[in-house]
Chains A and B, each alone.
Chain A
């Protein structure tokens, strides 16, 4: 066995409401991996005692704002961190109630994995469907369905299998890729970090084993070469008098020194002279590396341009179909104009049509309602003032995503996934 020195980063999202055991599960993961420390625990215990709670309320750990603690609800996305010898985990912990759909979408946008909790006594609820739909819409590559509170159904195999089957029926209507089911008891720790002694019938892995080993190197696109230009680096010093490089974070593909590339929108063709970092030159670079690239020829290249391979170009256009999640109190209607941000490019766009809105609990489409209010999800057609260089969100989450900004309030009002 090779020595494992490389710790990978895995981002996952959890969503849930007060009583489905989400906080207990996160607390359990942090406690059993020694990621909650004594002073944090003491502070939680003191607050719990003061409120007359019989047990330490682990949700106090994630509910960081005064309003959240006062109301006993999670309002905003909270980020939690823990690590093991194999991976560092970033949890985007989001509220599960329908009025916080926008926060679920935010948490899901950067996640490799979604953790969906189901209460073994209650089975599939409306909320479960909502979470699964958002995970599929945001194309989170891996889904783990934890069937929790197995202790309350006597660790019964049949109860577990019934829920697995029900979820499978629902998920068949969604576009989900990798789904794992794990029967757990967050309260007693069964199959969370330790294998359950009470569910010998379960032959799969524990949640922690799965989180540590799920294959994530395929989550990013390493096929289609895309480098959105962030800025150009020109030192103008004696030592680097003629130095000029194109800086950015690679959105997809693998770039190698000497490769033929093309610059969009100009269409100029050239070769990669070098891939530079402060630590020295690289032979190759891939997503999500931040690099600087020198090209053989000098062109006028700036922010918003994109470096691609000549034989693999993104779509170029101004009319885009997309799924959108509305994030703001000011409603979206056809004809509205917004600032659009896509990769490193900013432009203006107009909403040309609302194709349909989707009921995220039933997945039914409504083609007659043309106005999006906060938390609505549906399909729209927009036209941009300048052409965008894009891929479908399905193919590349980086080059297929956009945000809409209200030009009057400057707020981020919409999140779009290009079809």
Chain B
């Protein structure tokens, strides 16, 4: 007898499409948080499939730290154009200029934390009631506790100890005034699922995920890309390396890995053989044991 059983990528795809359609039905003003990284690319690809042949019924929002890789921004604009959606951009620089936040100083300065204020201000400005993100539960231990529909209070805060139970596929999107939801349709995907899906669906991704030659500096056992806004310590030397990025965040906090992987197949093979997790290249997560939980409580992505 023919077996009515989906393969795992189809099952995950179906779950994500269901969630994206639920958001569009249950929430009045959703937005998709788009960074130009692989997870938000996959989330937007799924959104396109969920409403096909109609257009995606919500805009995209990019919180621009001003410290992005130029390749990511170039890709972002091209991708959004091909999707036919409206891209909103709110920048951390504006938050700094208007005195909403104060920039960190020193060698390890990052705008990672400052993004939260810019993001919450944008949610308030546009009165968004649901912000869809590409975060996955396998990324990090605080994320492993996330719901698909994750409630945020009027201060944008997450209360991890007091989350709503989420049963079957019945989502509760009811909320009080000024509150909103973060929606995580990729919760059950792993890094490998994402790459396999990108391969299967032939999804375009920014070139810096592939192996390339780049000027880098070694810091804390990782290679940081050379950029005007990254100050160098006196003893740091600029080297040319063959690298690629396993995740893409800000240039200030995303480490490159030495890799010859120049195709999706090679990237998949590399990940299968990897001995470290992808967040291991993220300085923002390595700050403390509960760095992610603390940021998320305050309203981070």
A344 CB to closest chain B CB, in angstroms?
Answer: 8
B54 partner, pick from A64, A67, A103, A235, beta carbons under 8 A:
A235
Given A401-B170, A410-B175, also A286-B4 (CB < 8 A): yes
A278 at interface by CB-CB < 8 Å: yes
Contacts of A211 in B (CB 8 A): none
B277 partner, pick from A40, A102, A339, beta carbons under 8 A:
A40
B167 partner, pick from A78, A303, A401, beta carbons under 8 A:
A401
A270 at interface by CB-CB < 8 Å: no
Contact indicator A83/B190 (Cβ below 8 Å): yes
Contacts of B237 in A (CB 8 A): none
Give complex CA distance A216, B8 in Å.
Answer: 13
Give complex CA distance A303, B161 in Å.
Answer: 33
Contact with B along A234-274 (1 / 0, CB 8 A): 11110110010001110000100000000000000000000
Contact with A along B149-169 (1 / 0, CB 8 A): 000000000001101111111
Give complex CA distance A401, B169 in Å.
Answer: 9
Contacts of A187 in B (CB 8 A): none
Give complex CA distance A247, B50 in Å.
Answer: 9
Contact indicator B21/A290 (Cβ below 8 Å): yes
Contact with B along A206-245 (1 / 0, CB 8 A): 0000000000110010100000001101111101100100
Q: Find the B residue at minimum CB distance from A236.
A: B54
Inter-chain contact count A-B, CB under 8 Å?
A: 184
Give complex CA distance A418, B37 in Å.
Answer: 43
Q: Which of A104-112, A129-137, A153-161, A188-196 contacts B (4 or more CB under 8 A)?
A: A104-112
Give complex CA distance A77, B164 in Å.
Answer: 11
Contact indicator B8/A87 (Cβ below 8 Å): yes
Contact indicator A65/B277 (Cβ below 8 Å): no
Q: Which of B10-18, B125-133, B203-211 contacts A (4 or more CB under 8 A)?
A: B10-18
Contact indicator A106/B167 (Cβ below 8 Å): yes
Contacts of B98 in A (CB 8 A): none
Contact indicator A8/B7 (Cβ below 8 Å): yes
Contact indicator A110/B168 (Cβ below 8 Å): yes
Contacts of B168 in A (CB 8 A): 109-110, 397-398, 401, 403
A206 CB to closest chain B CB, in angstroms?
Answer: 22
A327 at interface by CB-CB < 8 Å: yes
Contact indicator A405/B172 (Cβ below 8 Å): yes
Contact indicator A415/B165 (Cβ below 8 Å): yes
Contact indicator B280/A39 (Cβ below 8 Å): yes
Contact indicator A77/B137 (Cβ below 8 Å): no
B176 at interface by CB-CB < 8 Å: yes
Contacts of B7 in A (CB 8 A): 6-9
Could you write out 17 A-B pairs with CB less than 8 Å apart? A39-B275, A65-B145, A67-B161, A76-B145, A78-B144, A83-B8, A105-B165, A106-B166, A106-B167, A237-B54, A249-B169, A279-B49, A290-B15, A290-B18, A292-B52, A410-B172, A412-B165
Mark B residues whose CB is within 8 Å of A: 3-15, 17-18, 21-22, 24-25, 48-55, 137-138, 140-145, 160-161, 163-172, 174-176, 187-188, 190, 192-193, 274-277, 280, 289-290, 293
Mark A residues whose CB is within 8 Å of B: 6-9, 37-40, 47, 61-67, 69, 75-81, 83, 87-88, 90, 102-103, 105-106, 109-110, 216-217, 220, 222, 230-231, 233-237, 239-240, 243, 247-249, 254, 276-279, 286-290, 292, 303, 327, 339, 341-342, 344, 397-398, 401-403, 405, 410-412, 415
Given A38-B275, A288-B14, 15 extra CB contacts under 8 A: A38-B276, A64-B293, A65-B161, A65-B293, A77-B145, A78-B144, A78-B145, A81-B138, A90-B188, A237-B53, A277-B49, A278-B52, A403-B167, A412-B164, A415-B165
